[in-house]
Amino acid sequence: MPTIDLEVTSLREFNQMLHELAGGTNNTHFRVLNPRGRHAIAAGVDAPVTIEIDGNAGYYCAGMNKRANIIINGSAGVGLAENMMSGRVHVKGDASASAGATGCGGLLVIDGNASSRCGISARGIDIVVKGSVGHMSAFMAQAGTLLVLGDTGDALGDSLYEARLFVRGKVNSLGSDCVEKPLRDEHKKTIGKLLEDAGLASEVDPSEFRRYGSARQLYHFHMDNLEAY
């Protein structure tokens, strides 16, 4: 298992090393020491490898991830896993604003809390937050799933498209065009699969969640809905 000390190896050199893995490698597990809040650690990875970061990461960690399993043994700054395509990103601490923003696929697991705009403009990513999320989470989310075990801030799902939102705790307020919907058996199966993927299947009952989705009133401009725009 290669160990990279970012006090010795520059971040640019390390990321270039990871980018070159797309051509194939015998190294499948990398350990990163002394991240010290550096920005864009392990961004743009396109290889089926595991990257374990021992400490806190800065902005845009694991951005554009494709195929990799990235573990952060600490917290992460703004834009964690932004525009993620596939693979898995797991942060053991908290995440700052815009975690999983514009994500197209893969799974993002946050053990702590996520700040504002978690899952903003999501396009297929699945996000599991074991704590709470901040205001405007899932704003304009188009596809994918946001599963929150804790509470949410104001304006959850504002201007939501077809992303699925499940919340176990208290929703402070819903955004424009976001409404509560019935939780049916197929939704419980979806929740159960995400809980299993996040290692929570034996701890949480899917029936404890509430489901939220788009009322589909803002897809097209209509004078009757003017005040909602």
Q: How far apart, in whole angstroms, are the C-alpha atoms of residue 62 and residue 65?
A: 5
Contacts of 68 (CB under 8 A, 6+ apart): 42, 45, 46, 47, 48, 49, 50, 51, 62, 87, 88
Strand order of the sheet with strand 50-53?
3-5, 29-33, 50-53, 69-72, 88-91, 107-110, 123-129, 143-148, 164-167, 210-214, 178-181
pLDDT tens string for the chain (229 positions)? 899 999 999 999 999 999 998 767 788 999 999 999 999 999 999 999 999 999 999 999 999 999 999 999 999 999 999 999 999 999 999 999 999 999 999 999 999 999 999 999 999 999 999 999 999 999 999 999 999 999 999 999 999 999 999 999 999 999 999 999 999 999 999 999 999 999 999 999 999 999 999 998 876 666 676 666 5
pTM of the model as a whole: 0.94
Q: Name the CATH architecture for the domain at 3-228.
A: 3 Solenoid (2.160)
